[in-house]
Every structure is written in structure tokens, then in C-alpha cells.
Amino acid sequence: MYLTHAPLRLLRLIFLSIVPSIRAALVALMAGLVAAACGGGAEVLRPVYDVPVPARLTGVPVFDRVGQGDGHSCMLTPAGQAWCWGLNDAGQLASASRAACGDDDMFPCSSVPLAAGGTPAFASIDGGRFTTCALAVDGRAWCWGGVNDLAPQPLPTPVGASTDRFVQIDVGTFGGDACGVKADGSAWCWSARSPSTLRQVAPGLALKQIALGDLHACALDAAGRAWCWLTVSYPVLGSAFSGSATTPVAVGGDRVFEGIGVGAMHACAREVDGTAWCWGSGSVLGVGDPNAFSATPQAVSGPKFVQLSSGTSHACGVAADGSAWCWGENLGGQLGDGTTTARAAPVRVSGGLVFRALDAGGAATCGITTDGSAWCWGWNYSGAVGQPVVVRLVPA
């Protein structure tokens, strides 16, 4: 039964608001304590949530675009229909269902992909913690989900006025904020609470892409230069980012980038020649140091990439040969190398698959291979990997 008692709902909201990698560690710790209470030397049945190697989704159509959220995943068919799976506590699957998945009935979710109905054809899709947004082929942005799980909004809703059109959109990794870039290079943001109200950010800059993280955002201007700013009005302890939505700060290094992504405490961008550059803090910088910190871009020690994606605390890229590489935190198996060990440099995703699209999310990663099949790996607690939870005997 879904919990509706206010104190329990508050505790659940706090738990779900924790960075996914930390959340995974907490669940593992709790499971270990329970197992220890059962006595040493014995085996106990326990759900296993980490899926550290790519798992193919079944019963789904062919896909060609992917967009990850914090605890859910979405893909688009060639015709532009959205399918989503994973956490659904705020309606981010475009479903009003409050049914749970797995053995934990506290979390509305679906490990079975669900088709979003009543929407136009979409060209791209992206997810955050509570929200999913997609860009229609006519440039109109549509969103569903809420700012939290207290008022789910599963019905896809158009953003802004009927004349507002975008060329690119991105959803923040926490809360319900999203932003988009218009054809004239102006950037506008909105909240899931009031998607009809737009507010301009980074005025004076002509942008081609914007990316939102937890407490900061970054963008590329028309020349490919990177700019970043904090999305909160207070200093963030330990952050490599500064500035504000009205006064973005130019990223040092004077490099020209083709794409950019933002996570909880980092940003990564792909240079024209395919080199990946990251800045911020942690193993996700990909420079071989798990405690790395830099306010200026550092070259990732790995292959050249044709596509790059930033998750909450990990990053992934697709090389020219279609191989997938990931680095950063890995408590849920989101790097796909068969382990749950963090990597401070890129490791190749297991399976020898050839990808044409890939996206890193909260603690899960999903990709589409050249035949259009969908594959996911990582933390499957809310069904974000699109697989039923496995229960097996493990040492107590």
C-alpha cells in the first residue's frame, strides 16, 4: 500500500531527495544490517538492485533517442512516441498509476516501460528528479511530473505560450525546473509548478545549448564557449561553480565545445575533436584522481567521443566505433563494467555492444544500439533499468 501518512511521506521525500549514489549506499547498508541480524554463516533471500552490466529491455518497440532522469528512464521511437519506466511518484512516467514495483510498496514505479499517450511527436526527451520534458517536432516543449511527489502531475502539459518554440531543452537533476534555448539564442526556464510562466536566464548571451544540474547550470554560446552559474542565491560549499542566472561566468581555458552536460557537482563538455573535458569535483572528472577538484576543464584520460553525457555523479561517452565508456561513481553499477567500484578514468561498458545513443542518469545509464534495441544498467531500485528486481540467496 502506498503510504499517505504525512510524517512517513516526509521521510520518504527526504530519502528520495538524496543523491542516488548515496541512496544506493544507504539501502545496501540497511540490507547488510538486516542480514547481520539473521546470524553469520547463513544465507538469506535479499533483493539485488544493482545491475552492473547492460540488460536488454523486452516487449518494447525500436528506439532511436534516449533521455535519463534521476530515478526513471525514457526513450523515443523513430515516430517520436515517448516510453518511460522507473520511478513515478510525481507522475514522471506520464501515468497516473500509484502502483509499486519490486518488493518495496513505498514507491510508485514501473519496471515495465509505459507509452505516453495524447502527446505530439517528440524530437528529444530529458528527465530530472520529479519531471520529464520533451521537445515536439514543432519546437513546443511539453512536460509532465511535478516539483515533488506531494502533487503528482502525470498529464503532459505544453510549456509557455502557444508561440514559444525551442531548439533545445534540458531538465534539472533535482526539483522540477527545466530550461530551453530558442532559435534567437535566448534561454528561458520554467518550473513544473507553473510551466506556462517563463523566466529568462543568461541575458545578453546568444546560446545554442543549456544544461541543468542540482545547484548549477552551464551553457554553450553560439561560438562554443562554455558559461556556468549557480542556480541558487547562496554560495555552495565545495562547489567549483559561481555566478548567477543574470551574471554567468565564462569557463576558463578558452576551448570550443560542441556539447555540454551537468551533474550534481561537475560539468563535462565535448571538444570539436572529440576530447572530453570535465570540471568540478570527484572521480567523475575522469583524470585518474578520485578526489580531483578543478574549476577549469580537465582532459578526460580516455578515447575520443562522438557523444558525451553527464549523470548525477558519473559520465559516459560513445566512441567513434560505437563502444560505450563510463567513469565516476558506481555504487549502483551505473558504469556497466560488471562491478560496483568507482572509476576515476573511463572504463569500457561490458558486452561489446555498439551504441548509437546513450544517456547517463541518476544512478542508471541507458543506451540504444544500432539495431534500435534498448539496454540499461545500474541501480534498479525504482525500476529505472527496466528489469524486474531479482531476489536471490546471499551471505547473511
Residue type, 100: A
Using the Cα atoms of residue 276, residue 232, residue 196 and residue 361 in order, give the sign of their dihedral: positive
Which residues lie across from 276 on neighbouring strands?
270
Torsion of CA 275, 304, 54, 382, to 10 degrees: 10
Please check the confidence at residue 105 and state whether its pLDDT lies above 80.
no
For 381-387, what is the mean pLDDT? 94
Q: Which pLDDT belongs to residue 29? A: 55
Whole-angstrom distance, CA of residue 209 vs CA of residue 196? 21
Q: Which pLDDT belongs to residue 39? A: 53
Q: Which pLDDT belongs to residue 391? A: 81
Please check the confidence at residue 3 and state whether its pLDDT lies above 80.
no
**How far is C-alpha 91 from the geometric centre of its chain's CA atoms?**
16
- For residue 57, which of 390, 385, 389 has the smallest C-alpha distance? 385
Please check the confidence at residue 11 and state whether its pLDDT lies above 50.
no
Please state whether beta strands 141-145 and 131-136 pair in parallel, antiparallel, or not at all (unpaired).
antiparallel
Whole-angstrom distance, CA of residue 276 vs CA of residue 122? 28
Please check the confidence at residue 21 and state whether its pLDDT lies above 60.
no
Whole-angstrom distance, CA of residue 90 vs CA of residue 84? 13
- For residue 372, which of 132, 37, 148, 65 has the smallest C-alpha distance? 65
**Tens digits of per-residue pLDDT, 148-202?**
888 899 999 999 999 999 999 999 987 789 999 999 999 999 999 999 999 999 9
Residue % of the chain over a pLDDT of 90: 78
Please check the confidence at residue 211 and state whether its pLDDT lies above 90.
yes
More confident call, 227 vs 19: 227
The verdict on domain 6-395 having CATH code 2.130.10.30 is yes
**Tens digits of per-residue pLDDT, 275-316?**
999 999 999 999 999 999 999 999 999 999 999 999 999 999
To the nearest 10 degrees (0 to 180), the angle between helices 20-37 and 6-17 is: 120
**Tens digits of per-residue pLDDT, 131-147?**
999 999 999 999 999 98
**Tens digits of per-residue pLDDT, 112-129?**
999 999 999 999 999 999
Taking each continuous run of H as one helix and of E as one strand, the counts in the chain are: 2, 31
Q: Which pLDDT belongs to residue 27? A: 52
Whole-angstrom distance, CA of residue 173 vs CA of residue 51? 22
More confident call, 10 vs 331: 331
Whole-angstrom distance, CA of residue 133 vs CA of residue 110? 18
Q: Which pLDDT belongs to residue 42? A: 76
For 213-232, what is the mean pLDDT? 96
Q: Running DSSP on this structure, what letter comes out for residue 285?
A: G
How many CA atoms, within 13 angstroms, populate the side-chain half-sphere of residue 252?
A: 10
Q: Which three cell numbers stand for residue 209?
A: 545549448
Please check the confidence at residue 12 and state whether its pLDDT lies above 50.
no
Residue % of the chain over a pLDDT of 70: 88
Whole-angstrom distance, CA of residue 50 vs CA of residue 25? 11
Confidence of residue 40 (pLDDT cuts 50, 70, 90): low
Q: Which three cell numbers stand for residue 58?
A: 523486452
> What is the end-to-end Cα distance of the chain in Å, rounded?
28
- For residue 312, which of 348, 269, 363, 346 has the smallest C-alpha distance? 363
Q: Which pLDDT belongs to residue 221? A: 98
Q: Which pLDDT belongs to residue 20? A: 52
Q: What contacts 334, CB < 8 A, 6 or more positions away?
A: 311, 314, 326, 360, 361, 363, 364, 365, 377, 378, 379
Please check the confidence at residue 332 and state whether its pLDDT lies above 50.
yes
Q: Which pLDDT belongs to residue 7? A: 36
